[in-house]
Chains A and B, each alone.
Chain A
Amino acid sequence: MSKSWILVKRECLTRVKTKGFLVGTLIFPVFVLLILFLPAVFMRMGTEGVRRIAVIDFTGRLTMPLKSAAAEIRQDATGKSLYTVTAEEADSKTLASVKQTLNRRILDGRLEAFMVLSPDIFDSNRYELYAKNISNFQLNRTLNDLVTGAVSKIRLSESGLNPEFVSRLNRRVWAKTFKVGDAGAKEESGEIAFMISYIMAFMIYMVLIFYGSYVMRGVIEDKSSRVIEVLLSSARPHQIMTGKILGIGTAGLIQMGIWALCLLFVSAYGLTLVKLFAPGAQNLPIPSVSPWTLLAFVAFFLIGFFLYSSIYAAMGSIGNAESEMQNLQWWALAPIMMSFFLIFAIGKNPEGPLAVVTSLIPFFSPILMLYRISVQAVPFYQVILCFALCLVCIVGMVWLSGRIFRIGILMYGKRPTLPEVLKWIKYS
């Protein structure tokens, strides 16, 4: 075991000491911080962008309710009004020239849009909207809502109803989302919960591919630089393979640990930090990750890594040069990619039979079971069953890969065919 330890130490240290590792480790926290702070920073920058809207009101009655309703729409960051509505006087004779002046103001950027409210608006249900960008859905929708609100206010008071009372009657209803887990229901936004699960599954996906191909490249490098024979004069093949996998796995674990700490930190202090920058920020999507999910994240990283890195190691031992990696790594890449795409198939029904069966297949478990655990409570027996199956599968794969590895690392020249590799497994 002590020789494996020396190999592990070398493999891990030579990787952790590189600039690439430092950059790769820091890029994720930087990315998270950017995602958190950029919206706040943009909001702050956007404070001066008050949208000016002009109204030519031929009914003479809509301008006031429009103005007061528009003043209610606030900016996220500062809490100031987002729209200012100004009335423009015009009659049928001056309309053309007023429109021209307003057009010019829009082109100059002094005005966002202007609208013409004709007297028959109460029957036609139409008004004219002039803007530089008429496909700005958010603007169109806001203005449509404002005009609709003003028009129906007038309609209601003409019919003798109290508009305030009616609007209270008509108030929309919104869903408050709760996540159901073993610990009881907990309030959480549905979209954010999906995003976090998706991001974690994606991270496992990336990390498995990254570290798997590190293992594979490492084996091919040792083979093509002929170090492998020098190593073989001091250690057994299984020690070399273990050293490679554990060494690179430790480097990966260090990286994942830093990332997990970063996630924990953000979910605990993210909002406080963001508020320092943008005091108006209330409803930012700050992810909240439970420690149990993080634990599952690390556990499934380890399971996935041991499962796939042994395949990658065996594939590496078959190859002679790095250029062969493309072809060989498909044996590991295919199931990893497949499990990632299966998320979309089981996403709608993470408790359904397809989800249960696929997430229990060890090659898919690291991504699918983690996904299921993070979106909802998986029955405890399934988690235990999953770990047991994965463990058995890892032992099997390490044994199988070990047999391929010890022959593969001494074979140079033509790459063996699949039947030849099967023969190695049988006879080695």
Chain B
Amino acid sequence: MHAVKDLSFTVEKGKVFGLLGPNGAGKTTTIRMVMQILLPDSGSIEIFGKPLTPSLTDRIGYMPEERGLYKKMKVLEVAAFFGEMKSMRRGQAVQEAKRWLQKLDLAEWTEKKVEELSKGMQQKVQFICTVLHKPELLILDEPFSGLDPVNVNALKDAMLEMKNEGTTIIFSTHQMEQVERLCDAICLIHKGEAVLNGPLSEVKAKFGRGRVHMRYEGDAAFLRNPAFVSGFDDYGKYVEIRPADGIPPQSILKQAIGEVTVTHFEIAEPSLNEIFIHLVGNKGGGQ
């Protein structure tokens, strides 16, 4: 049994890299190997152009998918502690922690115990614990899960700011929209192997253009005609359509107008969501 096999990818410095894959694909195992929590049976991992050594972990920040903080400790104490664990000096760690708590609207919670915070706030504290020591490489496992849109935005801004300061970011997620907006390059893992790997634009180009994205009202039964449509992903009011070979999008529109009320029609490149579902083979799964 292999959790990850023949996996190979490269992350360019200063870029945002998306590690994608269905549940159980091997993302966490891969990240754990990078963090030296697990050792690979074979193969090699290099970071900053050097083979892994324990001291390198101080230059990396890692936020695991399963968040973990000391619930009984005060917010500032926890953040400073994790800073110190990355070889920061105590005073410096406290100062940085305060700056970040201010920045993420947690200033008034500094002296509260972690368990008194809401889940979303705890997650922001966890993020602070991860970035406190100004890592050169930031690895975030599902950073946005469980956050409301306001906090998603705050976190995204913080990530982009770090990117602009030169930090390389690897993050894994299921939310393809986030990937599409944030990532420069991706690697899609399925059953422990990379099925897709490279800059986002190249990946998309490989799947060609000619997709139809349509917003509509009514019963879109015409989509089930294989002569016109080779595949689709229907959300009830919105559908992504892959026209059958030789069928121009125009004739799909013609068909649609006869049957439903079309409010939006667009010819676009395939969404990452579609590529994901197509490759992982989980048809009709949706989001």
Contacts and interface: CB of A to CB of B under 8 A. Distances in A.
Contacts of B64: 226, 229-230, 233
A395 interface: no
Contacts of A338: none
Contacts, number: 57
Contacts of A226: 64, 66-68
B84 interface: yes
B71 A6 contact: no
Contacts of A64: none
B86 A234 contact: yes
Contact of B69 (A6, A7, A10, A227): A227
A229 B85 CA distance: 13
Contact of A233 (B60, B70, B71): B60
A225 B68 contact: yes
A232 B82 contact: no
Interface residues of B, number: 28
Contacts of B71: 225
Contact of B70 (A14, A234, A236): A14
B179 interface: no
A233 B62 contact: yes
A328 interface: no
Nearest to B73: A14
Interface string A1-12: 011001100100
A258 interface: no
A236 B37 CA distance: 8
Interface in B221-274: none
Interface in B113-158: 126, 129
B114 to A, nearest CB: 10
A232 B81 contact: no
B35 A232 contact: yes
B57 A233 contact: yes
Nearest to B39: A428
A3 B62 CA distance: 17
A385 to B, nearest CB: 38
Contacts of B81: 6, 10
Contacts of A225: 68-71
A295 interface: no
A309 B218 CA distance: 68
A38 interface: no
B23 interface: no
A6 B87 CA distance: 9
A228 B68 contact: yes
A288 to B, nearest CB: 42
Contacts of B66: 226, 229
A227 B62 contact: no
A234 B37 contact: no
A138 to B, nearest CB: 54
A339 to B, nearest CB: 34
Given A6-B84, A225-B69, A230-B68, 15 more contacts: A225-B70, A230-B62, A230-B63, A230-B64, A230-B82, A230-B126, A232-B35, A233-B61, A234-B58, A234-B82, A234-B86, A235-B85, A236-B54, A410-B32, A410-B38
29 contacts: A6-B84, A6-B85, A7-B85, A14-B70, A14-B72, A14-B73, A225-B68, A225-B69, A226-B66, A226-B67, A226-B68, A227-B68, A227-B69, A227-B70, A229-B66, A229-B68, A230-B62, A230-B63, A230-B68, A230-B129, A232-B35, A232-B37, A233-B57, A233-B61, A233-B64, A234-B58, A234-B82, A410-B32, A410-B37
Interface of A: 2-3, 6-7, 10, 14, 222, 225-236, 410
| The 8 residue pairs across chains A and B that have the minimum distance between CB atoms | A226-B68, A227-B68, A233-B62, A234-B85, A226-B66, A229-B64, A232-B37, A6-B84
